[in-house]
Amino acid sequence: MTADALTLDKPDPAEPSGGGRVPPGSNRPTGRGRGRRRRISISTVVLFAVTAVLAAFWLLPLAWAVLTSFKPEGETTAIPLQWFPTEWTLDAYRSVIGNSDIGLWMFNSIVTAVITTILVVLVSSMAAYGFARTTFPGRRILLALTIIGIMVPPQVLIVPLFAEMVALGLVDTYWGIILPQVVAPAMVFILVKFFQALPTELEEAAHMDGASRWRIYWQIVMPLSRPVLAAVSIFTFISTWNNFLWPFIVTTDPNAMTLPVGLVAVQGGYGLRFAEIMAAAVLAALPLLIIFVLFQRQVVRGIAHTGLSGQ
């Protein structure tokens, strides 16, 4: 056999033989790659299963509350428990809307939540920008003291805050509900982390062009911070809307009550009438549900931009 024949009979190294090794550049999946994909698939299935179980624990009580609000009162305590009403009715909603001031309470909650959100965004962003972009004696100590405020239970401050509101004549007023909630150290911390991650080139260029610190903050930093500001706004609005303890302490006039405080009055007035109680709870949660559905992308994007999602 000639040398040419021997050369032609050699297997092409680019073609994998039956028991040969796969070339490095080949797209053929190896056993190790297939095993890795199987492990990822199994972990994904387990993750979805755990998430589904956790979601069920949260959704089942919510579903029961919504379905109960459409039941006649006699069916709410029926044994055995019936998930779906045999007769769908809006009597509970009519009773809550007609026999309570839930419209006024909802208006009070909207006013206090909107004003609190605006003030928290302004105050927290200015404080965070100062901590992130300026240098002054005691800056680290002051920032540490601000962050320590996250660990202080709000209940500790109830008595001094109430005494202060009485001295200022702000009991049973919107400002009495709003002002103590404007201090938000958690939001300051989130914004500090975000501002520190922003590049400084634009600010330095604006400063060289003669822009003041205030103009840089308002016209450059704030527009760049829209994702995290949206997240802070939504978190603050939800927290203020759901806040019960402080509005309960500082309001005694029914006309100044917020919705969570009013729901306690509804529960006390209706006793154990579960249909009315659940109807009031559904009405109270409806605005938050709408906000979350409309702005859930902004919330997720804001969390990602803060740099806290992996911590």
Q: What is the pLDDT of residues 192-239, one digit of tens each?
A: 888 888 888 888 888 888 888 888 888 888 888 888 888 889 889 989
In this predicted structure, what is the pLDDT of residue 28? 53
Top-ranked range on mean pLDDT: pick from 27-36, 122-131, 252-261: 122-131
Q: In percent, how much of the chain has pLDDT > 90?
A: 19
Classify burial at 65, counting beta carbons within 10 Å of its beta carbon; exposed 0-12, middle 13-18, buried 19 or more.
middle
> Confidence band (pLDDT; 50, 70, 90) for 3?
very low
d(CA 118, CA 237): 9
In this predicted structure, what is the pLDDT of residue 29? 52
**What CA dihedral angle connects 80, 81, 84 and 89, to 10 degrees?**
100
In this predicted structure, what is the pLDDT of residue 201? 85
pLDDT higher at 16 or 152: 152
Phi (first) and psi of residue 297, to 5 degrees: -65, -40
In this predicted structure, what is the pLDDT of residue 290? 85
d(CA 250, CA 158): 10
In single-letter form, the type of residue at position 141 comes to I
Strands (E), the chain: none
Angle at 246 between CA 127 and CA 175, to 5 degrees: 60
pLDDT higher at 283 or 5: 283
Phi (first) and psi of residue 248, to 5 degrees: -65, -35
Cβ atoms of 124 and 191 closer than 8 Å: yes
pLDDT higher at 75 or 144: 144
Residue 160, CA distances (Å) to 150, 165, 171, 250, 257 in order? 18, 9, 13, 12, 21
- Residue 226's closest CA among 202, 194, 196? 194
Spell out a b/e string for 151-184, using b for 16 or more CB atoms within 10 Å of the CB, else e: eeeeeeeeeebbeebeeeebbbbbebbbbbbbbb
Cβ count near 109 (within 10 Å): 24
Q: What's the mean pLDDT when you consider all of the chain?
A: 80
Q: In percent, how much of the chain has pLDDT > 70?
A: 81
Any idea which of 102-116, 173-187, 260-274, 281-295 has the lowest mean pLDDT? 260-274
HSE, CB side, 13 Å, CA atoms: give it for residue 10: 8
d(CA 190, CA 231): 10
d(CA 222, CA 234): 16
Residue 36, pLDDT above cutoff 70: no
Any idea which of 148-152, 153-157, 248-252, 262-266 has the lowest mean pLDDT? 262-266
72: left (phi over 0), alpha (psi -120 to 50) or beta: beta
Q: Tokens 């634009």: give the residue.
A: 202
In this predicted structure, what is the pLDDT of residue 247? 92
Q: What is the pLDDT of residues 56-71, one digit of tens each?
A: 888 888 888 888 888 8
In this predicted structure, what is the pLDDT of residue 107? 93
- Residue 273's closest CA among 60, 77, 97? 77
Residue 122, CA distances (Å) to 48, 182, 184 in order? 39, 10, 11
Omega before residue 80 within 30° of 0, cis = yes
> Average pLDDT of 104-130?
93
